[in-house]
Amino acid sequence: MNTSESRDDLILSSFVVGPMHSNCTIVADPESRLGMVVDPGGDAERILREIEGLAVSVEAIILTHVHIDHVIALGEVQQRTAAPCYLHKGDRFLWDRLEAQFSRSGFSFIPGTVPPRWLSDSDRLPCCNGAVLHTPGHTPGSVCLWFEEHKLLISGDTLFHRGIGRTDIAGGSFKHLEKSIVESLFTLDEQTEVITGHGPNTSIGDEIRMNPFFGEVMR
């Protein structure tokens, strides 16, 4: 999904990057222009051009989880911005195996230049009044980024437009994913816009009503 929304309350740009067509999102405060890059999943030059075009100062790089399709451009973006990257401690085992993930997939590994900082549930994000929702399931350390006052959620690979993240890879758990979505995401304001990890945007209300994986649960 490529969206560059003109809204008064946020600078928001989301665009497709990398070999697995991941959505990379830039969110920033329109007054201070301090912002974050979420999931730099490839195409570093494209991301850096976008940062420059929006005139945003990148304070943080947030990984919704540590699969390489959300991480490929991290090293290059850090080389240019020197911003720290943040990830949930539940994905530490994936972070520690990052180089192996790269070599298995055939992508060249450009290591991060700043040591990671660890996130926990309910942590405040460095800008735009965002908060961390720990939503394990796709991976143990998957997080969604919730901007309550802006009615915006960045869901990573936890919730998709009419879909959910796969749970058949290292550390995945359908039981945890279901609980995360039903007990955490589906309790948010239905008007909340959702930028997903891959594919089109959706809203919490639309997924409560139309996500095929939850018909049974919600009835």
Binding site for Zn ion (CB under 5 A): 67, 69, 157, 197
Q: Give the helix ranges, DSSP H, for the chain.
A: 44-54, 74-81, 92-96, 98-105, 174-179, 204-210, 215-218
The minimum distance between CB 189 and Zn ion, in angstroms, equals 25
Measure the CA–CA gap between 174 and 105, rounded to whole angstroms: 25
Pick 157 or 193: Cβ nearer Zn ion = 157
| b/e sequence 46-60, b meaning 16+ C-beta within 10 Å | bbbebbeebebebbb
Q: Shortest distance, CB of residue 66 to Zn ion, whole angstroms?
A: 8
> Which residue has tokens 């405040």?
124
User: In sequence order, what are the residues at sequence separation of 6 or more whose Cβ sits closer than 8 angstroms to the Cβ of residue 32?
Assistant: 127
CA atoms of 183 and 196, how far apart (whole Å): 18
Q: Cα separation of 219 and 215, whole Å?
A: 6
190: number of Cβ within 10 Å: 14
Report the residue number, 29 or 157, with the smaller CB distance to Zn ion: 157
Rounded least distance, CB 106 to Zn ion, Å: 17
In the complex, the smallest distance separating the C-beta of residue 99 from Zn ion, rounded to whole angstroms, is 18
Whether residue 56 contacts residue 6, with contact meaning beta carbons closer than 8 Å, is answered with no
Minimum separation from the CB atom of position 124 to Zn ion (A): 24
CB of 29 to Zn ion, least distance (A): 27
